[in-house]
Structure 1
Amino acid sequence: MAMTPHWAYWFVPLVAAVASRLARSDEQRTLAVWLASLDRRVWGSLAEGRDVGTLPWVDARIDEQKAFLQEIVDAGRSRVCWDLFMAPGDEEDFRPLLRPLGTLGQLVAQFSPQHACRDEAIVWGYNGGRAPATFERCHKHPVYLHANGCLWCNDGDLSECYEQVVVQRD
């Protein structure tokens, strides 16, 4: 999925926020944590190179996982959580995010179980090769924490953006 660095910068935080908002089960929370773990402060530009094969797929539940990921895509395309990134009236500036969301939806729909990465050390590479034992949300931002903290707290620019929008709404 090719995106300009600017849109790649906003894509992961948006998808992580939507996943965190929609997650209802531990399996869905695991996916939300994995998405939040694509933290540019941890992975650098490697965060942009991850693909759907390295998601924490569970063979017996791939169809359910794909349905949840499609729900995330659909919600993102419906502008769920966009208000976290912008002030009212700025929605048009974020329209370019619709394309990578659509691409993610296509990749998930076309995904076959034989392409799933089975190496936990690759899937959860930053966390000693382990899925999260607990699911905690950031006390300040609307996302689940990953092993290295909050995707948004780790990125001062994103945190400042969130604070400005929240202040504008009050």
Structure 2
Amino acid sequence: MAVLPVGTRRRLMKHPLGWVAAGFGAGFAPRAPGTVGSLAALLPWWFFLRDLSLPVYLAVLAVGFGVGVWASHWAIRETKIEDPSLVVWDEYVGMWIALLMLPAGWPWVLAAFVLFRAFDIAKPWPVGWADRKLHGGFGAMLDDALAGLWALGLLQLAAFLLR
């Protein structure tokens, strides 16, 4: 993990796109910023997103992804690092995908978190392909969205089998 110069960190913190890219500060965690970002993503989900209708939830995901591409691209340009660890908005969107249509209960939320982190770290196909081949803000966002889709698929399968 590259250590950012103090001036770069300050510039990121002063710009709205830096705050979004860094997950409103979660990306500045000294250890495991991706995990911290994934945990931080649970707060807006719990208070605002979980009770939305499916069409509105999907619209929020689409807007969140688009804003994330923009903010991630800006942060990558500012830091001159292809995939800076402070960019965790992709974890927010990936977690929100994993949490889509989730059955009620904290065990499901915990399972979504664990599965999303596992797929984000292990990078099964096509997550690893996107991580290696796609760059910039779109690449930074897409691999986590795909990890979220893996987690979503497995959670929905488990929910179906447990009915």
TM-score (norm 2): 0.31
Structure 1 or 2: larger helix share? 2
Question: Which protein, 1 or 2, shows the higher relative CO under an 8 Å CA cutoff with sep ≥ 6?
Answer: 1
TM-score (norm 1): 0.30
